[in-house]
Structure 1
Amino acid sequence: MSTATPSQPHTKWAAAALIGVVASVLLAVVVLAFLWPSKTSQTHNLPVGIAGPEASVTALKNAVGASGTFDFVSAGDRADAVRQIESRETYGAIVLGAGTTPPEVLTAPAGSAAAAQILTGVAAQLQAQVSQQVAAAGGNPAAVKVAVTPVVPLSSSDPSGAGLASASFPLAIGGMIGGIVISLLVVGAMRRLLAVAGFAVAAGLVIAFIMQTWFQYLQGDFLTNALAMGLTMLATSGFIIGCTSLLGRAGIAIGSVLTMFIGNPLSAAATPWQFLAEPWGAIGQFLVPGASGTLIRTLSYFPNADSSQQWWTLGGWAALGIVLTLVGHFRSRPGMHVPESTIEHPTEVRHAAV
């Protein structure tokens, strides 16, 4: 006698159609999350130093200030403009010479290849103006050259900066993978924290080895770069683990969405964050991908720059993950109680005392 297994009931037609529509909406959200920042990005509010005679500076500001491309920062002289670039206060500078001295454009390709390209275009415009002035004065235009000086160039192993910019996405994915795997496979809050600490240390050393020793995308001190990578991993994976401990498996989705679909598009890894629509560019710098990208670039090429905001941001996200993990752990613990069977009846206690 054969036993027939009951067939699973089919999904209703209306529900099937609705699920398909919801899936397409989710896809649209994902596409918009990655494409919207680049679509709305504009070349504006770029901090650029400017130095030179007051009349020349005022004339240049009036000529190019209306476009909104630059946010000029006054510099006392060329040395001051260089200091601003090296401390990441500006993305470059325009130094206007006195008298017949031609202007000079200072760039920082290591800070942003896009900003350096824009400033190189400004140098071409200045060259055309200077050539016209020299020709009108009866001189030789070919003898006057507007110099473009890269104050902070990229390394020869990553001349376009593509390697450094493309590291943002793998770092975000890596932190998510660590958080998800530990959340699913490790049971116990303290054990999860131990696992994520080990993951962060190992991942930081491995990624720094690949990006600095092997590919030579990173510069500077190896251990400091490894610490930055490890803290990035800890901030992302720790937050996902904390959300999971507090909310269950729904926390994995929340942590992943915040990292991949909000933090990563707003990280401005390939362009200055000032180019993103306000205030999203500034907000992105306080999320893990944005803070991590800025910190890694600063450690490699701008040792004189202040990176405290990035360190505190990553440390804050890591601490938040730890706190959420502990809160979820203690909230889920059952309250202590004494079983009724172990409680002696007051009358029995009295007789026993007698």
Structure 2
Amino acid sequence: MTTEAHAAERRRPPLIAVIVLLTAVLTVFLIAFAWPSARSEPRNVPIAVSGATPAVEQVKTQLGQAMPGGFEITAVPDRQAAVQRIEDRDAYGAIVLDSAQPEVLTASAGGPVVAQLLTQLSARMDSRAKVTDIVPLPKDDPRGAGLAAGALPLVLGGIIAAGALTQLVRSGPKRMVGAIVFSITGGLALAAVLQYWLGSFEGSYLGNAGVIAMSIGAISLTLLGLEWLIGTAGLALGGATMMLLGNPLSGMTSAPEMLPNGWSTLGQLLPPGAAGTALRSVSFFDGAGAARPLVVLACWLLLGVVLCGLGAMRTRGRAVQPRHEASAVAA
């Protein structure tokens, strides 16, 4: 065996170290994807209650005993006000305390898990209660499976785009152009499948496609910028963050308020969580409640552009230094 081969063999980590590393990675994956679901329960879920003051206070007490800290209750004057709060995405549902016919208002399009939970609670509180879905999911996808399953492709789209462009395109500016163009075509394609084939979306097709494009672009440009600045480690770190934190904490399979405290807030500050909330708002609520998540996505897009700009400046600096050294040697 040559000296170079001996040196290469010595640089390789021992087998036990590789096994420990793989076990740790597998454990992290399990925790990241299983922990939010295993600890899923309502935490300060906003709902509205209308009725006489004593009846409203009684409902607050009953809900507090049934699920302590589960609901954030706002008293409203009547059913119309409760409906308005739901349509404005200020509440996931409402309880209308009518002595003749109690009613529970839900919005399965805003969160099917929360709607199901409110339906179950209404049956326990008053068997006479009527359940009305104010903003229902589409008939072709009554469980919201398409939107929930679409969370992973949104993340993978940005990660795969950054990885492929890094490997296949040498020019940094061309990588950025490729990421932007792919985010647009990817947004149009995914929105078409989810809206026209699976029937999981409603509302404006271009609006839905625009949210998806912003999500893919935010992830891909950020990862490209990280790779440009610190190499493969930056790409790996950014991809792991989006996959292990952004995807499971997005709340797209349930609702952000069903996730552990603190983690739900973090999830909404990452592109997958912001995209999920914005998609529900744009598709089912005429854009109500979409301002904040769209601002989050715009900030990530801007961050990606800034990181790419810093990477370009660093590359230019590295290119200029050898030319200066060559000029000095020639002189």
TM-score, normalized by length of structure 1?
0.86
2 CA distance for matches of 1:59 and 1:319? Answer: 48
Offset of residue 174 of structure 1: 1.2
SS of the residue aligned with 1:268? coil
Offset of residue 5 of structure 1: 8.3
**In the TM superposition, what whole-angstrom CA distance separates every residue of 1:23-43 from its partner, at most 9, and x where no partner exists?**
111211111111111122222
Mean Cα deviation higher: 13-22 or 256-265: 13-22
Query: Which amino acid is the alignment partner of residue 320 of structure 2?
Result: G
Query: Which amino acid is the alignment partner of residue 44 of structure 2?
Result: N
Match of 1:56 in 2: 55
User: Is the contact made by 1:158 and 1:164 (CA closer than 8 Å) also made in structure 2?
Assistant: no
Match of 1:210 in 2: 193
Whether 1:239 and 2:222 are equivalent positions in the alignment is yes
Offset of residue 195 of structure 1: 1.0
**In the TM superposition, what whole-angstrom CA distance separates every residue of 1:189-247 from its partner, at most 9, and x where no partner exists?**
21111111111111111111111122221111111111111111100111110100011
**In the TM superposition, what whole-angstrom CA distance separates every residue of 1:250-292 from its partner, at most 9, and x where no partner exists?**
1110111111011111111111211211111011101011001
**In the TM superposition, what whole-angstrom CA distance separates every residue of 1:11-63 from its partner, at most 9, and x where no partner exists?**
79982122211211121111111111112222232111111111111111122
Whether 1:335 and 2:329 are equivalent positions in the alignment is no
Match of 1:132 in 2: none
Query: Which amino acid is the alignment partner of residue 32 of structure 1?
Result: I
SS of the residue aligned with 2:132? strand
Query: Which amino acid is the alignment partner of residue 323 of structure 1?
Result: V
- Give the alignment partner of residue 284 of structure 1, picking from 267, 289, 299: 267
Match of 1:45 in 2: 44
Structure 1 segments, 4+ long, off by >4 Å, are 4-14, 340-343
Match of 2:255 in 1: 272
User: Is the contact made by 2:222 and 2:300 (CA closer than 8 Å) also made in structure 1?
Assistant: yes
- Flag structure 1 segments of 5+ consecutive residues without an equivalent: 129-144, 344-354
SS of the residue aligned with 1:326? helix
Match of 2:119 in 1: 120
SS of the residue aligned with 1:164? helix
Match of 1:24 in 2: 23
Query: Which has the larger Rg?
Result: 1
Match of 1:347 in 2: none
Match of 1:105 in 2: 104
Match of 1:165 in 2: 148
Match of 1:296 in 2: 279
Matches within 5 A, 1:150-161: 150-161=133-144
Match of 1:75 in 2: 76
Whether 1:192 and 2:175 are equivalent positions in the alignment is yes
Query: Which amino acid is the alignment partner of residue 60 of structure 1?
Result: V
User: Is the contact made by 2:187 and 2:210 (CA closer than 8 Å) also made in structure 1?
Assistant: yes
2 CA distance for matches of 1:5 and 1:62? Answer: 79
CA spacing shift, 1:236–1:12, aligned 2, 3 Å: closer
CA spacing shift, 1:96–1:51, aligned 2, 3 Å: same
1 CA distance for matches of 2:5 and 2:64? Answer: 69
Structural RMSD (CA): 2.2
SS of the residue aligned with 1:49? strand
1 CA distance for matches of 2:201 and 2:25? Answer: 36
TM-score, normalized by length of structure 2?
0.91
Equivalent pairs counted in the alignment come to 322
